[in-house]
Amino acid sequence: MNKAAIIAQIEQEFSQRFRVIDNTGTDKKVVAGQFPDVIMMRPEPPPNSDILFVMKIESGENLVDSVAEWKELGSGSGVLYIIVPDHRLDLTKKLASATNVRARFAAYTTAKDGTVTIRYE
């Protein structure tokens, strides 16, 4: 998984409509006591603090270990998107449903040339 490439694709797709914040660097922002990978806010310039979406990018491995974090992010401000590899989408949805995680889902695929495609549900 190339998290930077996935975040770059998200920024490319949504930067016209939202203020997209890559939250994987050293100056991380806390949302609901957790550190989402991407934060999407209203496009107005700062200090606007309206969080619309938070995104957590998962490799698809050890998903059970992420449930507590998903629960916190799903109960915070903004809508939580859990982004997983395409082949793990069904498993992730079942796990979230079984553990009462409030989230939406997206699946990513990476082509041989490194191009990332994200499909949102």
Q: How far from the centroid of its chain's Cα atoms is residue 46's Cα?
A: 21
Of the chain, the percentage scoring pLDDT greater than 70 comes to: 99
Helix (H, G, I), strand (E, B) or coil at 92: helix
CA distance 3 to 93: 20
Q: Categorize the per-residue pLDDT at 73 as very low, low, confident or very high, splitting at 50, 70 and 90.
A: very high
What confidence score (pLDDT) does residue 65 get? 93
Mean of pLDDT values over 33-55: 87
Write the CATH number for 114.
3.40.1350
Instruction: State the pTM of this model.
Output: 0.93
Which range in 1-5, 12-16, 47-51 is most confidently predicted, on average pLDDT? 12-16
CA distance 66 to 42: 27
What are the C-alpha distances in Å from 101 to residues 2, 39, 56, 85, 94?
25, 18, 13, 18, 10
What confidence score (pLDDT) does residue 46 get? 67
Contacts of 75 (CB under 8 A, 6+ apart): 32, 102
Domain count, the chain: 1
Range of the domain at 83: 3-120
